[in-house]
Chain A
Amino acid sequence: MTPRALVLSVLTVVLSAAVLPAAPKKKATKAAAAPVKVQPVVTTPVRPLEDRPQIWHVWTDEQGRKVEAMFCGLSGDIISLQTRDSRNYRFSLAILTPEDREFAKACAGQQKGGFSRAVVSAAAADIDRVVEARLLADGQKPNRPATDEEFLKRIYVDAIGRTPTAEEASAFLADASADRRERLIDRLLQSPGYSLQMYNWMADLLRAKDILGKRLPAFTFEDWLKARIGANATWDVMVKEMITADGRMLDTGAAGFLLFDADMPLDGVSNLITTFLGSNMSCAQCHDHPLADWSQRQFYEMAAFLGATDMKNESMLGEIRKLSRADSGLNKNFVRLIGEMNALRLADTDRNRLTFPKDYKYEDAKPGESVKPSLIHWDEGDARRQSYAVDTKSPAQLRDQFARWLTSPDNPRFATNIANRVWRKVFGMAVKEPVDDIDDMSAASNPQLLAHLTQVMRAARFDLREFQRVVFNSRTYQSAASPMPDLSKGPYLFNGPIVRRLTAEQVWDSVVVAAVGPSADNILLRRGDNLKPLTLPEGKVTVALVRQAADQMRGMKGKATAKKSGGGSEAGLSTGYEGEKPQTRQGLLLARASELPQPAAETHFLRVFGQGDRMLSNSSTVDGSVPQVLQLMNGPVARLLTDAKSHAVLNATKESGPAAQVRSLYLSFLARNPTPAEATAAQKALGEGLALTDLAWTLANTREFLFIR
């Protein structure tokens, strides 16, 4: 469907307001409610982005080492490259020769290729018109525009995952130019923090975890994810790489996504359908879905696309086990691990082995009967879409065919799913909630908004940075925030973003930068390379090689081990950092959350503030608790922030006079100037024996510190 046709198709939409759900019954129909007539808005189709040019170059570093690689992107001083073997690298520009540094900057200028300002403004204005039309139909109005101070904290947190420092905040607040917000958005989207915060968001969605199953390190998946985000790889390309990856996770990081569920492939299918299509099929895994239209048969037909994919190399495993039995000197635990790491891989076979389950109880197939792959569709017309023309004849091609359909712009849900999820990320609520169930798009709070966002996503060709650039420039995003709405009274129609608690990672990253300054954005962790010596050649495994790998493993002890359901250890991370190394203060390793164990240890600040365990997709929370308050009031983080050497306190100390010092701390912790009353109260307290460190403690413990308003 072309963008224009898509727009036209939503012109006649009649919306239903949210209503009390009907009593649960099979195939429940949506309860009827008085439909709200919305004046349809004619939106302008967004002109799609063009292909990005590929720039190949032989890069040379200061030590004279050379590598041929494709330029993928430059954010701040971090360059991303991809070599011919599809490996991804990101590192500090500083290690390259001066000529290559200049060349990289030139590439970045040439490669930008994002939406023009005019396109961004037009697409953002259409968001506002579609939102306002829906609000109007409901007798509501948008919130007042956000102040510069409100906008400042929000855009820093959303675009680079942390609050601004005092210097960054005052630079923006002193800027009187008319396009200051637009320029700040552009600058932040190109800075290193953008990749770090996108990683945190995707790590939660894709379950990036240091350790899979029983102590199998999965650092290569994390490295891949970081490198692809750093290169601003588009979402469709990333998803395609994950679904079509071939080989061991040890070599091919992207394989880690499917291999997460190697022991439970059907759960894996269910998870991927939810994650990438927002389709609520998971119940149909075991029985016909009680509330939606999915049948168990449909679930199995989808799963059949991965039916010829083999995830465990049994012959490799057997080979290593045999050697292990023959030589009793080998450490059994290490050998088991090495065996599994080498055996865990994605490979296409020439036979689709999926059969209906033994307890299959419906009449449309027999238990044990083999399953023919077939794609789900949401509307009658879907099957006629060009993306549905898949070739299912060759089992070895099934996964590739599936990935092509899945990530096609023509797929009925792929673009909408990611647009809806990113919208939720920055507004605090999706257009269609829950994000894991967008099967019925007409049940969105504003279906035309969902359609418009889908169109913007397609035009951005799944470049999430460009998509967010549009959203950030909308008046809707730049409005004052609403308190958490009571949805039982009706859907939320986006009078503005919602007041949100910062995610665990956003709180932590703000704390780290308040403690050591913005250089924390440049500390990068890469650990997958340490695993390479554990790779064994198939069919040629020898005792000597296994012993060598086991020795390597022993050397990594502490780095590669973590409790199965717990979090990772920070011990031994130091060798994994490229360039600048993080400091340790108050027993805390001061790198950004993305560059710490994934997830952090159970008792770490990050976990206490709700970082997910990454066992399930979207497992993070933003709920409060008493231990969180204790951390901020009286824990190591409180001591870190109130240290006279912390970046924020040092900055304040440099100012002359209490008024400027108070202002500096307000900028550091709350990204705004104090009100006159606050300034008076704070200065009075400083005069009565409290130090700047006490004021730092106080500001870090205001509710405002934890929230975006």
Chain B
Amino acid sequence: MSLHEFADRLRNVEDRRAFLEKAATMAFGLTVLPALGGAAETAVKAPTANLPGFGKAKNVIFLELSGGMSHIDTFDPKVGASKGPGSAVSTKAGFQVTSFLPNTAKISDKICVIRSMTAKVGVHASAQYLMRTGFEQRGVIQHPNFGAWAQHFLGRSSQTLPASVCVNRPSNQGNGWFSASHAPLPILDPSAGLPNTSGVGATGAQEKRASLLAELDRGFGATVADTNVQAYNDFYASTFELMRSRDLKAFDISAEPKAVRAKYGADKFAQGCLLARRLVEHGVRFVEVRSGGWDMHATLEDKMEDVGAEFDAAFAALIEDLESKGMLDTTLVAVTTEFGRKPSFEGGGRGHHPLVFSTVLAGAGVKRGFVHGASDAKGHGVDRDPVTVGSFHATVAHAAGLPVGTEIMTPSGRPMMIGNKAMPVSAVLA
């Protein structure tokens, strides 16, 4: 059965369930085993496990360029009327990027650019929601982000550290319909690390407090059969674990050599990228790092020289750092953004444009020095191989070893699949 046929069958809601039951028993094979507990109760078969790259990414880092990265001024340069202030630069991988990304150009052989992303939503909040979750925003349900899906299927990734962390933004209910223990731990200031961790557990009085707390909490905390109260029990347990953990140093980027810190850059995004590397190194499976300032309606050139340059330096440093530590084969880095920007250059910048935009995947499970899909000559629409946000998520999920195409039930009884029924982009898998 071809993948397309597979996907078509999945889209047909009527026989989806019956088909999946059958598919699970077919030769598709690998079983996804719960790792450190807390994973889905029954082991789930992964229907796409026969495709390349399955399960290679032990860790995933999402770089979220918030505001809408202009594809034309970054990874998809154009000539003619659409051309922006930067010039096109050829790379050793054979594709071009703009002159705003000199460091990225040097690592072109390690990344896979997708130039045919397409979506419909041109409003920041909703489009960001789509990019984070793979689902369009609905008033009635909160969809989980990638880290929560991964934790659901694979369990926690570390005994003491959270399975997912988001840097430079709040957690935005990233656990979706999963329990609160699936929520990413938010770090709002990467150079401050995890606040309020110093000095606890160091003295006898604090140990006594903690044991008194355990005793006095028996009446309510330990007996009320409420899922939210239990979630707080989990958070207290995780916090005590974390504070006693030697892994706490994972949050402290000041422990990095000066030269490494300098290579990433001094800004919040760069520090976040460095923190992300430290966290995955210590066993956090999924880290999101947000970079703000990409909503370039005006003064695009200045902003590309500012936030654009910060991104360029940090992204390239992250890829090289991961590679030098031998972690690029087990870590997948994704450069994401909520939409692209218009081909027409007006008032010094460009408007929102979801019809076509670019994303990047780099590392475990995907091809290197590769471009997938293309926009048309103007950069207005998709020319070939359109990739939806759902299939982008499915691709990352596949690389991370999640059972794409497997239906789960939300607590409210809705059937859901990671990537919202989309299939991985098999052309980029390796």
Genuine A/B complex: yes
CA distance A705 to B199 in the complex (A): 23
Contacts of B205 in A (CB 8 A): 689-690, 694
Give the residues from 182 to 231 in chain B that come closer than 8 angstroms, CB to CB, to chain A: 183, 185-186, 188-189, 194-200, 204-205, 208-209, 212-213, 215-217, 219-221, 224-229, 231
Does A410 count as interface, using CB distance less than 8 angstroms?
A: no
Contacts of B194 in A (CB 8 A): 626-627, 630
For the complex of A and B, the 7 pairs showing the least CB-CB separation, nearest first, are A703-B221, A483-B226, A704-B220, A630-B196, A635-B196, A629-B239, A23-B13
Does B238 count as interface, using CB distance less than 8 angstroms?
A: yes
CA distance A484 to B13 in the complex (A): 31
Q: How large is the interface on B (under 10, 10 to 19, 20 to 34, 35 or more residues)?
A: 35 or more
Contacts of B188 in A (CB 8 A): 602-603
Does A697 count as interface, using CB distance less than 8 angstroms?
A: yes
CA distance A499 to B227 in the complex (A): 10
Known: A624-B231, A634-B198. 18 other contacts (CB 8 A): A24-B13, A434-B139, A487-B412, A499-B224, A602-B170, A623-B173, A625-B180, A626-B242, A627-B195, A629-B238, A629-B239, A630-B195, A635-B195, A681-B216, A682-B216, A694-B208, A694-B209, A707-B228
Does A701 count as interface, using CB distance less than 8 angstroms?
A: yes
CA distance A25 to B175 in the complex (A): 27
| Closest B residue to A280 using CB positions | B139
Contacts of B175 in A (CB 8 A): 623
Partner of A690, one of B140, B170, B208, B233: B208
Query: What's the minimum C-beta distance from B177 to chain A, rounded to whole angstroms?
Result: 11
CA distance A689 to B212 in the complex (A): 12
Does A561 count as interface, using CB distance less than 8 angstroms?
A: no
Contacts of B236 in A (CB 8 A): 629, 701, 703
| Closest B residue to A628 using CB positions | B235
Contact A626 B125 (CB under 8 A): no
CA distance A689 to B203 in the complex (A): 12
Contacts of B220 in A (CB 8 A): 702-704, 707, 709
Does A11 count as interface, using CB distance less than 8 angstroms?
A: no
Does B413 count as interface, using CB distance less than 8 angstroms?
A: yes
Contacts of A314 in B (CB 8 A): none
| Closest A residue to B173 using CB positions | A621
| Given A484-B226, A625-B171, A603-B189 contact (CB < 8 Å) | yes
Q: How large is the interface on A (under 10, 10 to 19, 20 to 34, 35 or more residues)?
A: 35 or more
Partner of A486, one of B123, B180, B209, B411: B411
Does A706 count as interface, using CB distance less than 8 angstroms?
A: yes
Contact string against B for A residues 675-709, beta-carbon threshold 8 Å, 1 for contact and 0 otherwise: 10010011001001110001101110111101101
Partner of B140, one of A436, A629, A682, A706: A436
CA distance A699 to B175 in the complex (A): 28
Contact A625 B235 (CB under 8 A): yes
Give the residues from 133 to 173 in chain B that come closer than 8 angstroms, CB to CB, to chain A: 139-140, 162, 170-171, 173
Query: What's the minimum C-beta distance from A241 to chain B, rounded to whole angstroms?
Result: 26
Contacts of B213 in A (CB 8 A): 698, 701-702
Does A527 count as interface, using CB distance less than 8 angstroms?
A: no
Does A382 count as interface, using CB distance less than 8 angstroms?
A: no
Contact B413 A625 (CB under 8 A): no
| Closest A residue to B229 using CB positions | A703
Does B414 count as interface, using CB distance less than 8 angstroms?
A: yes
Contacts of A487 in B (CB 8 A): 411-413
Does B346 count as interface, using CB distance less than 8 angstroms?
A: no
| Given A623-B175, A625-B171, A488-B232 contact (CB < 8 Å) | no
Does B5 count as interface, using CB distance less than 8 angstroms?
A: no
Contact A630 B228 (CB under 8 A): no
CA distance A77 to B237 in the complex (A): 44
Query: What's the minimum C-beta distance from B167 to chain A, rounded to whole angstroms?
Result: 12
Query: What's the minimum C-beta distance from B165 to chain A, rounded to whole angstroms?
Result: 10
CA distance A529 to B256 in the complex (A): 50
Query: What's the minimum C-beta distance from A259 to chain B, rounded to whole angstroms?
Result: 18
Query: What's the minimum C-beta distance from B275 to chain A, rounded to whole angstroms?
Result: 15
Contacts of A25 in B (CB 8 A): 13
Does A340 count as interface, using CB distance less than 8 angstroms?
A: no
Please list 11 pairs of residues, one from A and one from B, whose beta carbons are closer than 8 Å in the complex, sorted by A's number.
A25-B13, A488-B412, A615-B125, A622-B228, A625-B183, A627-B186, A698-B212, A698-B213, A701-B213, A706-B232, A707-B226
Does A598 count as interface, using CB distance less than 8 angstroms?
A: no
Contacts of A602 in B (CB 8 A): 170, 188
Give the residues from 113 to 132 in chain A that come closer than 8 angstroms, CB to CB, to chain B: none
Contacts of A697 in B (CB 8 A): 209
Contact A626 B162 (CB under 8 A): yes
Partner of B185, one of A621, A626, A698: A626
| Given A615-B125, A709-B220, A633-B180 contact (CB < 8 Å) | no
CA distance A707 to B228 in the complex (A): 9
Contacts of A634 in B (CB 8 A): 196-200
CA distance A436 to B232 in the complex (A): 28
Does A417 count as interface, using CB distance less than 8 angstroms?
A: no
Contacts of B414 in A (CB 8 A): 21
Contact A698 B199 (CB under 8 A): no
CA distance A501 to B162 in the complex (A): 22
CA distance A648 to B185 in the complex (A): 31
Which of A264, A613, A631, A707 is packed against the most chain B CB atoms within 10 Å?
A707
Give the residues from 266 to 287 in chain A that come closer than 8 angstroms, CB to CB, to chain B: 267, 274, 280, 282
Does A20 count as interface, using CB distance less than 8 angstroms?
A: yes
| Closest B residue to A25 using CB positions | B13
Contacts of B217 in A (CB 8 A): 702-704
CA distance A501 to B221 in the complex (A): 12
Contact B219 A690 (CB under 8 A): no
CA distance A697 to B185 in the complex (A): 23
Query: What's the minimum C-beta distance from A444 to chain B, rounded to whole angstroms?
Result: 15
Contacts of A251 in B (CB 8 A): none
Contacts of B208 in A (CB 8 A): 685, 688-690, 694
Contacts of B162 in A (CB 8 A): 626
Contact A624 B221 (CB under 8 A): no
Contact string against B for A residues 482-497, beta-carbon threshold 8 Å, 1 for contact and 0 otherwise: 0110111000000000
Contact B239 A626 (CB under 8 A): yes
Query: What's the minimum C-beta distance from A574 to chain B, rounded to whole angstroms?
Result: 25
| Given A675-B219, A703-B221, A690-B242 contact (CB < 8 Å) | no
Query: What's the minimum C-beta distance from B26 to chain A, rounded to whole angstroms?
Result: 23
Contact B411 A483 (CB under 8 A): no
